[in-house]
Amino acid sequence: MNAGQPVSPAATALDDARPQDRYLAVTHDVVNQPPALEDYNLFDQDPALKEAVAREGGDATAAGLSEFGALAGARETIELGFRANENKPAFHTHDRFGNRIDQVEFHPAYHQLMAIAMEHGLHSSPWTNPGQGAHVNRAAKYYLHSQVEAAHCCPITMTFAAIPSIRKQPELAALWEDRILANHYDSRNVPDGQKQSVTIGMAMTEKQGGSDVRANSTRAYPVGAEGPGQAYELVGHKWFVSAPMCDAFLVLAQTTNGLSCFLMPRWRPDGSKNPWQIQRLKNKMGNVANASSEAELRGALSWMVGDEGRGVPTIIEMVAMTRFDCMIGSSAGMRQAVAQATHHCRHRSAFGNRLIEQPLMQNVLADLALESEAAMAYTLRIARALDNQHLEHERLLARLATPVGKYWICKRTPNHAYEAMECIGGNGVMEDCIMPRLLRESPVNAVWEGSGNVQCLDTLRAIQKEPETLDAFFREAAEAKGSDVRFDRFLAQLQNDFADFSDIQYRARNLVDRLALAMQASLLLRGSDPAVADAFCAARLQSNGGLNYGNLPSGTDAAAIIKRATPVVG
Ligand SMILES: Cc1cc2nc3c(=O)[nH]c(=O)nc-3n(C[C@H](O)[C@H](O)[C@H](O)COP(=O)(O)OP(=O)(O)OC[C@H]3O[C@@H](n4cnc5c(N)ncnc54)[C@H](O)[C@@H]3O)c2cc1C
């Protein structure tokens, strides 16, 4: 210390400190790091979502989307997502006395996220309160919640999606529906008879075939009378069963008359454990807060749902809804990735300027934002179609647009997550950032509920079985005709290419890609900010050689696109 210089209290304290504390003390100020992206409103700060909800017939006020957006953005809620993923579920075959229990233990944070989802009707609202905007409102809420944590959304989706299938057997629906739709979460491992609310899973996939479930070898033996609604015992195995602590499952098994669908509770009506044994938990790369299992059925008591031998058409009602939720989940993953990337770049500087102002980073961020908004706009349009299934156009549209969108949106997500991660630099690769989780989560939706090729083949099946689906799809897309010459050209070429059905399976991905792009462009041209629609047409409908993100052409209003996508925090 120089004599005569003013002495600061901190310096005096340092001088008084022991030598080792002095060296541990102030080394530098932390600067040029963003504030945490928390305590913000995921709905209010997402203009594209707000507009889409209104456009597709939702009612943000009635659905409480702003309040829910605040909850989803609260630091405490975000923290639940991290805790649930840091603490993977643990499987216990037996209790300490040797009794078989088949119990999966989840971290309390997982249960809290489940409770939030169910208390807000993410598994129930379009069934309990159907009509104008019901699916749109629910999809928007799911989109917000899934940005916090995606894994627990799996049982929420399955519980939601089970309703159309279970309704095919009215006496079973009468027993189960009220409890499935209760806006309450009961995590207790007790017989369903003791519960006011239950969750539902699905068990189709076996070792020898997941896409081709006709290969299922699990057998169903009638206990007494045979046929729909009757009791059977199931013997066999299932290779993937997610959320194995669900209270009941829709299961596929063979009777003498073919593959049929069954409702299998985890407990028998007398309160004893149904002989359904979990072998082990899957060691998943993503979706780790939720458990997925391998299981054996050793005479598990079940009831037939729908017609005997019509298991696939019965469970496909559930599958269609889960595919729709895959679209919401993947769109939500992209939205969260864009929020993280733009937020970081808004606060971080390099080479004398904020990253968000650097032209090359602007190109990448705007491109990521386009992809995210296009996915969300497509998803909410399908939500409107689900709200209007009594209208023929909407029914046909939902039939074709669901496999197209499931394929495209889920397929676009992993590379999007990876690029958004890179925008954040080294911090983006660290486990205390949400980006590694978003990246690991991203391939799961693409495989689950029918992988990419299976969705493309389902698209072709829909067109071949019901050609009107393609007419409806093109009719819808053509609503934007005349607003952009690039779009008009793209649509005309695509329609032309459907005139030739030779080699159609081989070309299916190319055709489905372009169907998705045509619909996304149409929706953005009709409803989004002109800068977004213009950039989408320029970047996605015209091939200019660039395959990575960051290939928007000169003249794009990247700043406007980024501003629209950036949550303002700090
Ligand atoms: C995390 C996770 C959770 C899951 N949870 C469940 C669950 O709860 N319940 C459940 O029943 N299942 C569940 N699954 C299983 C999932 O649905 C299947 O993995 C999926 O359907 C694919 O089946 P598979 O693994 O047998 O692959 P396969 O059917 O062998 O397919 C392999 C590849 O071949 C492609 N393919 C198949 N047929 C064709 C064809 N004709 N032409 C061209 N390509 C083709 C597929 O697209 C895929 O890319 C889960 C999977 C994962 C990853």
Tell me, in angstroms, the distance from the centre of ligand 1 to residue 218's CA. Answer: 17
> What CA–CA distance (Å, rounded) separates 51 from 527?
8
How far is CA 23 from its chain centroid? 49
Question: Hey, what are 167's tokens?
Answer: 């309704």
Helices (H), 478-507: 485-497
Q: Which of 217, 238, 240, 325 has the most ligand 1 atoms within 8 A of CB, as the residue to mutate?
A: 240
> What CA–CA distance (Å, rounded) separates 330 from 443?
9
Smallest CA separation from ligand 1 atom 1, residue: 444
Task: With a cut of 50, list the residues of the chain below it in pLDDT.
Answer: 1-11
pLDDT of amino acid 7: 45
> What CA–CA distance (Å, rounded) separates 126 from 384?
11
Tell me, in angstroms, the distance from the centre of ligand 1 to residue 490's CA. Answer: 32
Cβ 293 vs Cβ 239: under 8 Å:
no
The partner residues of 354 in beta bridges, in order of sequence, read 349
Q: How far, CA to CA in Å, does 393 sit from each of 370, 382, 463?
A: 27, 12, 14
pLDDT of amino acid 543: 74
Q: How far, CA to CA in Å, does 337 sit from each of 157, 329, 412, 546, 570?
A: 22, 12, 13, 22, 18
Tell which atom from ligand 1 comes closest to the C-alpha of 449: 17
Tell me, in angstroms, the distance from the centre of ligand 1 to residue 249's CA. Answer: 18
Cβ 388 vs Cβ 394: under 8 Å:
yes
Smallest CA separation from ligand 1 atom 13, residue: 240
pLDDT of amino acid 3: 41
- φ, ψ dihedrals at 528, nearest 5°: -100, 180
- φ, ψ dihedrals at 566, nearest 5°: -95, 120
Tell which atom from ligand 1 comes closest to the C-alpha of 201: 8
Q: How far, CA to CA in Å, does 57 sit from each of 63, 159, 301, 361, 384?
A: 12, 24, 43, 35, 7
pLDDT of amino acid 501: 87
Q: Which of 211, 444, 458 has the most ligand 1 atoms within 8 A of CB, as the residue to mutate?
A: 211
- φ, ψ dihedrals at 203, nearest 5°: -135, 95
Tell me, in angstroms, the distance from the centre of ligand 1 to residue 565's CA. Answer: 34
| Ligand 1: lining residues by beta carbon, under 6 Å | 201-205, 209-212, 240-242, 284, 287, 292, 444, 447-454, 457
